[in-house]
């Protein structure tokens, strides 16, 4: 429950601190005094967006702080534990908003993102605004109210997951189907290309070998001529061949080394050169003897080399990359074939997914029909007590014409009402007046509040358009609700204000230059005068005071 609210430099508030009690607290005040200021401050504490007039004029920042007793709020404790923010049985929320619009948020002294204030706020407080009844005529709100009453959140989560899965499959199926003809033409082309490259079957590094073999065979005559010239130059029979000359030089250096040991190294170097040249000469003779002039082999090599070049030009890739290109094409063909196989199988997969969705949706629909019977009876009883004795409320659950999976299921939910005996039930917006709609909304909110796990319920002037005996009944219902949970109600009705276990009074003071709003807790005597003021206006009489005492005593 809410324990304390501290407001500093917010709107027209300089500083206000409020201690809250268990049960029902009513907030009253003169028109324009800012009765909802505490509710607005709480909303900001719990993550609502700040506006430009949040900070009091002339101040650099507004500071808002709210503390809660969470000793019996197991969901809040679990949330705080999971975010490492727990602090025994208390939760303190603080928000600081600068005049430039920047804000900082804190939970139990730790800085947190604004989204976390919203998240924990849903477990601490539930606020019902004065315009909530306008939403009541919207079909989505009617569905949400029924689902909230029936506790359908787990089923709705399952339904949403299945619907999302179906949606993704449907999108994939449509894309595959739309691209089928284009994919078919592409597959035929790639299949032809792969077949052509399969038949040629070029191997890894084969082209480099082919290129070398082609050059060698195409220049075999030139190779013979050049190698023969080199053999003659190295090892001719005459005394002027390279080997003969080098042998003579080596012999002379050996003789020189015998005369002068300083020439040993030179002699050794020349002798090594002679040995290497002799080995090269032998290898060259062997090379020359193995030059193969085979026209048939050359024709085969030339044909394969030429085909490789043609294929490289045809596919616009380097001949060295043909093998890699071939592998990529094969993978592409496999992917195209898999897409076709996927398209064939997806119809069954979609049908199975939709059947699972329908199973959950039908379970949800069955539960909605059951809950609708209970809720419509309770709403009828409640609105009849709110000065609509002949009203009859009906909650109609019907199956949609279009069963395309959606997050909300297969049902159309509609709130119908008959205000007079014999009058057929019609949609709310066609039958109920503004005041009647407000009373129906309040009745639903009170009923749903019993199902809400948040320990604090706030009603911000939801009794607009209600007066007399109806107002007394509204006050009585809110008071009963306050016996099991903390209820805070901003009101202008004495019949509602008098039912509070605690009453706060909001007043606005001005010196002509500055305006200040203050909030104070009323004593028993002060409550009498405030209730009397609400009954009779500014001219408080003994009669109005007596009526006020009677209301407070009741």
- The pLDDT score that the predictor gives to residue 523 is 93
SS3 at position 76: helix
Q: Which CATH superfamily is domain 1-124+454-522 in?
A: P-loop containing nucleotide triphosphate hydrolases (3.40.50.300)
Q: Which residues of 516-550 are buried (b: 16+ CB within 10 A; e: fewer)?
A: ebbbeebeeeebbbbbbbbbbeeebeeebbebbbe
Tens of pLDDT, residues 8-18: 999 888 899 99
Whether 529 and 26 have beta carbons less than 8 Å apart is answered as no
Nearest alpha-carbon partner for 68 in 16, 125, 15: 125
Mean pLDDT of all residues in 232-252 = 77
pLDDT higher at 93 or 332:
93
Strands 24-29 and 502-510: what pairing?
parallel
Lowest-confidence pick of 208-217, 373-382, 457-466: 457-466
Residue 393 has pLDDT above 90, yes or no: yes
Q: Which residues lie below 8 Å from residue 550, measured CB to CB, with a gap of 6+?
A: none
- The pLDDT score that the predictor gives to residue 365 is 96
Q: In DSSP terms, which residues pair with 126 in a beta bridge?
A: 457
**Sheet of strand 61-69: strand arrangement:** 13-19, 2-10, 61-69, 90-98, 103-107, 110-112
Strands 392-399 and 2-10: what pairing?
unpaired
CA distance 21 to 495: 20
> Is residue 19 packed enough to be buried (19+ CB in 10 Å), middle (13-18) or exposed (0-12)?
exposed
**Sheet of strand 486-490: strand arrangement:** 125-128, 456-460, 486-490, 24-29, 502-510, 515-521
Give the domain ranges of the chain: 1-124+454-522, 183-336
SS3 at position 353: helix
- The pLDDT score that the predictor gives to residue 9 is 92
The CA distances from residue 262 to 214, 246, 253, 275, 381, in Å, are 52, 20, 11, 22, 130
Taking every pair of Cα atoms in the chain, the longest distance, rounded to a whole number of angstroms, is: 153
Share of the chain above pLDDT 70, in %: 92
Tens of pLDDT, residues 278-329: 888 888 888 877 777 777 777 887 888 888 888 888 888 888 888 898 888 8
- How many CB atoms lie under 10 A from the CB of residue 80? 19
- Per the rule left: phi > 0, alpha: psi between -120 and 50, beta: everything else, 66 is beta
Task: Compute the radius of gyration of the chain from its Cα atoms.
Answer: 47
Residue 70 has pLDDT above 70, yes or no: yes
Tens of pLDDT, residues 399-414: 988 878 999 999 999 9
- DSSP class per residue in 455-516: SEEEEESTTTT--HHHHHHHHHHHHHHHTTSEEEEE-S-HHHHTT-SEEEEEEEEE-SS-EE
pLDDT band (50, 70, 90) for residue 181:
low
Nearest alpha-carbon partner for 228 in 293, 290, 284, 292: 284
Mean pLDDT of all residues in 340-344 = 69
Mean pLDDT of all residues in 54-73 = 90
| Distance in angstroms between the alpha carbons of the first and the last residue of the chain | 26
CA distance 41 to 314: 74
- The pLDDT score that the predictor gives to residue 165 is 94
Q: Which residues lie below 8 Å from residue 73, measured CB to CB, with a gap of 6+?
A: 123, 124, 455
pLDDT band (50, 70, 90) for residue 220:
confident
- How many CB atoms lie under 10 A from the CB of residue 509? 11
CA distance 36 to 44: 13
> Is residue 295 packed enough to be buried (19+ CB in 10 Å), middle (13-18) or exposed (0-12)?
exposed
> Is residue 145 packed enough to be buried (19+ CB in 10 Å), middle (13-18) or exposed (0-12)?
buried
Residue 20 has pLDDT above 90, yes or no: yes
Whether 5 and 18 have beta carbons less than 8 Å apart is answered as yes
pLDDT higher at 415 or 89:
415
pTM of the predicted model over 0.75: no
Please tell me the number of Cα atoms within 13 Å of 123 on its side-chain side.
19
> Is residue 124 packed enough to be buried (19+ CB in 10 Å), middle (13-18) or exposed (0-12)?
buried
Lowest-confidence pick of 116-130, 155-169, 174-188, 348-362: 174-188
- The pLDDT score that the predictor gives to residue 358 is 94
Tens of pLDDT, residues 416-429: 999 888 888 998 88
Q: Which two tokens stand for residue 133?
A: 């009844």
Q: Which two tokens stand for residue 457?
A: 């319920």
pLDDT band (50, 70, 90) for residue 80:
very high
Tens of pLDDT, residues 490-500: 888 999 999 99
């Amino acid at each position: 429950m809410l324990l304390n609210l501290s407001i500093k430099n917010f709107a027209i508030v300089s500083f206000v601190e409020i201690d809250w009690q268990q049960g029902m607290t009513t907030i009253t005040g003169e028109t324009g005094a800012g009765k909802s200021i505490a509710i607005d401050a709480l909303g900001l504490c719990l993550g609502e967006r700040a506006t430009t007039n949040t900070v009091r004029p002339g101040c650099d920042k507004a500071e808002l702080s709210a503390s809660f007793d969470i000793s019996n709020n197991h969901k809040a404790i679990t949330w705080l534990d999971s975010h490492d923010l727990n602090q025994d049985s208390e939760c303190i929320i603080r928000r600081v908003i600068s005049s430039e619009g920047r804000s900082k948020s804190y939970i139990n002294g730790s800085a947190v993102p604004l989204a976390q204030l919203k998240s924990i706020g849903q477990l601490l407080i539930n606020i019902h605004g004065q315009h909530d009844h306008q939403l009541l005529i919207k079909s989505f709100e009617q569905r949400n109210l029924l689902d909230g009453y029936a506790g359908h959140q787990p089923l709705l989560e399952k339904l949403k997951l299945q619907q999302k899965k179906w949606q993704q499959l449907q999108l994939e199926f449509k894309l595959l189907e739309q691209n089928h003809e284009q994919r078919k033409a592409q597959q035929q082309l790639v299949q032809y290309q792969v077949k052509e490259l399969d038949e040629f079957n070029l191997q890894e590094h084969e082209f480099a070998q082919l290129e070398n073999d082609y050059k060698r065979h195409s220049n075999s005559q030139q190779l013979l001529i050049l190698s023969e010239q080199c053999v003659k130059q190295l090892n001719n029979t005459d005394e002027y061949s390279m080997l003969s000359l080098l042998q003579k030089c080596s012999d002379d250096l050996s003789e020189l080394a015998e005369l002068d040991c300083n020439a040993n190294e030179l002699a050794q170097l020349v002798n090594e050169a002679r040995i290497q040249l002799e080995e090269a000469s032998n290898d060259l003779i062997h090379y020359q003897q193995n030059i193969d002039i085979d026209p048939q082999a050359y024709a085969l090599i030339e044909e394969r080399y030429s085909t490789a070049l043609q294929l490289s030009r045809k596919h616009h890739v380097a001949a060295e990359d043909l093998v890699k290109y071939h592998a990529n094409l094969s993978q592409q063909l496999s992917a195209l074939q898999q897409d076709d196989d996927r398209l064939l199988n997806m119809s069954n997969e979609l049908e199975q997914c939709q059947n699972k969705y329908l199973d959950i949706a039908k379970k949800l629909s069955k539960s909605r029909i059951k809950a609708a019977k209970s809720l419509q009876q309770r709403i009828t009883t409640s609105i009849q007590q709110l000065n609509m004795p002949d009203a009859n409320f009906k909650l109609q659950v019907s199956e949609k014409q279009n069963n395309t999976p959606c997050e909300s299921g297969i049902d159309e939910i509609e709130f119908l009402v008959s205000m007079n005996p014999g009058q057929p039930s019609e949609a709310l917006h066609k039958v109920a007046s503004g005041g009647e709609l407000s009373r129906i909304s309040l009745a639903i909110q009170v009923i749903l509040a019993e199902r809400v796990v948040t320990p604090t319920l706030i009603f911000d002037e939801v009794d607009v358009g209600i007066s007399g005996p109806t107002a007394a009944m509204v006050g009585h219902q809110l008071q009963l609700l306050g016996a099991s949970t903390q209820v805070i109600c901003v009101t202008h009705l004495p019949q509602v204000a008098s039912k509070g276990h605690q009453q706060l009074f909001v007043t606005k003071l001005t010196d002509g230059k500055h305006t200040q709003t203050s909030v104070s807790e009323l004593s028993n005597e002060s409550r009498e005068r405030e209730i009397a003021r609400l009954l009779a206006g500014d001219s408080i009489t003994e009669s109005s005071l007596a009526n006020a005492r009677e209301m407070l005593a009741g």
